[in-house]
Amino acid sequence: MSVSTAEKEERTPARHRGNWIEDWRPEDPSFWRRTGRKIAWKNLGVSIVAEHLGFNVWTLMSTVVVGLDEAGHSFGVGQKFWLLILPNLLGALLRVPYTFAVPRFGGRGWTTTSVCLLLVPCAMLAAAVAAENTPYWFFLLTAATMGVGGGNFSSSMTNISFFFPEHRKGLALGLNAAGGNIGVAVSQLLVPLVVHLGTGVSLSYAALMWMPVIILTAALSWRFMNSLTAAKPDNGSYREALTSGHTPVMALLYVGTFGSFIGFSFAFPSLIGIAFSDFSSFTGLAFVGALIGSVARPLGGWFSDRIGGARITMWNFLGLAAGTVGVLAGTRLDNFAVFFGSFVLLFVLTGVGNGSTYRMIPPVFVREAEQRAARTGEDLETAHRAAKRRSGAVIGVVGAVGAFGGVLINLIFKFSLQATGTLTPALMSVLLLFLLCAATTWWCYLRADIPRADRARAADA
């Protein structure tokens, strides 16, 4: 009995060449059900662990810096903030090349390599804190190398996006992003406990505790992950993304959300000790902010699906402005409860804003593609496919630019404390940033004089 070509294709599993998969059809329901789903979720599981570990190492200095004085390394406030700024800066810069590494080296090969690179900052930190006369420049170099953990986010998200069909990418990427972000909280929870094991403080434990986990995760990545030959770079979409007027707008909004999240995460333990020295023992609770912010990220997407990404984003920025006023009131009134509670609110809202801002991007570029198709006569289906590629490229660009927001936040805190000895100028600057982002969201996507059809699509974004 003859078998049709379609039936033969349906029965044919994904073709492998070693750990490279040459035939990958996630949009084919039968292929996905029979073969693709199991492979994709296996790769996602290992990817979450690898990205989580990257965030553990990326934010490691935020917990180490508060114990430097006790360990015999006395640096000024400005010097300590540079130790927080450099991981932010290098992590943001590395997000661009890390995005293109997966198509070049394969998801399996690059994930394994990027995890192994995390051993470098851990080894350097262990050496830096081992002797009391370690020069400051070596601490700076160590902090900079921790940026490799920040680059992991882009390569991990890029890699996983190729494995899943369009209608499942939201869940997969949301789990991947949340699993990475929670690494900040895990690091800030566990490191203070580990460095105080035994007598005194042993900051070398902060580095050594991650090294066996890094080696194990690298082995798991090499053993269980796959690479897709279909994961090819789309350089044309990146060029188009850079020329779109929406890209700088979305980048600004993501600076206000993710940039604030990662900037606050780095600074929060130090700010507790600086602003409320009598409550310095509470720095161990700093993990609560990062944890709640990470968990809140999927809520931003969920609310946006029901209410509209632009609406949620605008109101979220107004909430962030109110939370900043609360932090400012806590410092002015010398009220730790108000300060801490308001900062936790900021973390919640930055998490929600991360999700809602990302949710805005695809519909905005679909609308732009439809307008161009109406002008040029381009086929609508072709325009929609191009919009998907372009929005994917924009997500990569926005993610890289947004990470620079963490640098901005910590520079603001540094200069404020050095110039005035207080957080007031810094908090006023952050307040203005959030109000600017709220106004930008309203002006670009929600104001009444935008054409009705465009406003409806933007509001749903």
Residue 318: pLDDT above 80?
Answer: yes
384-418 pLDDT, tens digit each: 777 766 776 777 788 888 888 999 999 999 999 99
Domain of residue 430: give its range.
234-461
Mark whether 262 and 173 lie in a shared domain.
no
Mean pLDDT across the chain: 86
Residue 174 shares a structural domain with residue 145? yes
Summarised one tens digit per residue, pLDDT across range 225-265 is 999 887 776 677 777 777 788 889 999 999 999 999 999 99
Quote the percentage of the chain above a pLDDT of 90: 46
Q: Are residues 253 and 218 in the same domain?
A: no
**d(Cα 86, Cα 427) in Å, to the nearest integer?**
21
Q: Are residues 213 and 141 in the same domain?
A: yes
User: d(Cα 401, Cα 252) in Å, to the nearest integer?
Assistant: 8
What pLDDT is stored for residue 392 in this prediction?
Answer: 67
Tokens of 54: 């990257």
| 308 and 363 housed in the same domain | yes
Same domain, 190 and 336: no
Confidence label for 131 from pLDDT (cuts 50, 70 and 90) = confident
CB within 8 A of 6, min separation 6: which ones?
none
Alpha carbons 260 and 435: distance in angstroms, whole number: 13
Q: For position 278, which CATH number holds?
A: 1.20.1250.20
- What is the model's pLDDT at position 95? 85
Residue with tokens 């804003």: 353
Shared domain for 41 and 171, answered yes or no, is: yes
Distance CA 294, CA 306 (A): 20
Both 218 and 261 in a single domain? no
Q: What is the pLDDT of residues 184-205, one digit of tens each?
A: 999 989 998 898 887 677 889 9
Residues 253 and 201 in one domain: no
Model confidence at 364: pLDDT above 70: yes
What span, in angstroms and rounded, lies between the C-alpha atoms of 224 and 43? 7
- What total number of domains does the chain contain? 2
Domain's final residue, options 229, 255, 282 = 229
How is residue 278 annotated by DSSP?
Answer: G
Take residue 121 and report the two structure tokens written for it: 């900052």
Number of Cβ atoms within 10 Å of the Cβ of 134: 15
Domain stops at, among 205, 229, 253? 229
Q: How far is CA 26 from CA 39, 354, 390, in A?
A: 10, 27, 20
User: Tell me, what's the pLDDT at 456?
Assistant: 45
CA–CA distance from 338 to each of 276, 318, 342 (Å)?
12, 18, 6
Cβ atoms of 231 and 45 within 8 Å: the answer is: no
